[in-house]
Amino acid sequence: MVSTSSKSLRYEDLVRNIINCNKCPLHKFRKKPVPGEGPLDTSIMIIGEAPGRYEDEMGRPFVGPAGKLLDYLLSLAELKREEVYITNVVKCRPPRNRDPRPEEIESCLPYLVEQIDIIKPRLIIALGRISGKTLYELMGRKWRGMKAEHGVIIKGKLGDLDLTLIPTYHPAAALYKPDIKKILEKDFSTTIKEEVKKIKSNKVNVRRKNLLDFINQ
């Protein structure tokens, strides 16, 4: 079992590497890199695509209007932001919010893989096409496009880790598109909420079992 302190040390090292990273051209355009934030002992990770303007200014993921919408969507799944770890596929803002290029994703991907390995989530919610496709590929699956894949529950392996992946649209895409917002509301209040419920009740059962084992010792 990995101790909390060695987990934290490994994470601190990772954040330091991201902050000093110049592996791809995106480092030239960023104000602040955005490694991610949230508890390291969570079972749930949210993975977006890339930092936007507000994130780049603050060095934090999902702030600004898309972040507010994400908070609302999380509440539909009975989740609070403090309960999840939030990051992006690439950690530096692409100029004018263009899509990150394949070679930029490839350069940055080891950081995401390490974050997943440190946190060992049981559920990943992938926000947006780039995030969904990247995670599908990491899990050895073929991406059929967001229309077909949003809200679908994927059980599989990422390295040695057994996990559930649910892709859906990026909240930024819903800011000016009410039809996308409706789809997001449905995904968060149905499939995502159900998976969150399962994870939470499993955690309670594990705690109860540990307590009973301790009492019966």
Binding residues vs ligand SF4 (CB under 6 A): 18, 21-24, 26-27, 33, 90-92, 104, 107-108
Spatial contact of 88 and 37, defined as CB atoms under 8 Å apart: no
To ligand SF4, the closest distance from the beta carbon of 24 in angstroms equals 3
**Which residue's structure tokens are 């908070």?**
71
Long-range (24+ apart) CB contacts under 8 A made by 29-33 are 29/92, 29/93, 29/94, 29/95, 30/56, 30/92, 30/93, 31/56, 31/57, 31/93, 32/56, 32/57, 32/58, 32/59, 33/59, 33/91, 33/92
To ligand SF4, the closest distance from the beta carbon of 96 in angstroms equals 15
Nearest residue (CB) to ligand SF4, 98 versus 155: 98
To ligand SF4, the closest distance from the beta carbon of 216 in angstroms equals 49
Nearest residue (CB) to ligand SF4, 33 versus 171: 33
Amino acid letter for position 92: C
Nearest residue (CB) to ligand SF4, 108 versus 158: 108
DSSP annotation of 29 reads: T
To ligand SF4, the closest distance from the beta carbon of 23 in angstroms equals 4
Token output for 71: 């908070």
Nearest residue (CB) to ligand SF4, 28 versus 155: 28
Q: Between the CA of residue 14 and those of 18, 116, 120, 150, what are the distances in Å?
A: 6, 12, 15, 30
To ligand SF4, the closest distance from the beta carbon of 92 in angstroms equals 3
Nearest residue (CB) to ligand SF4, 9 versus 19: 19
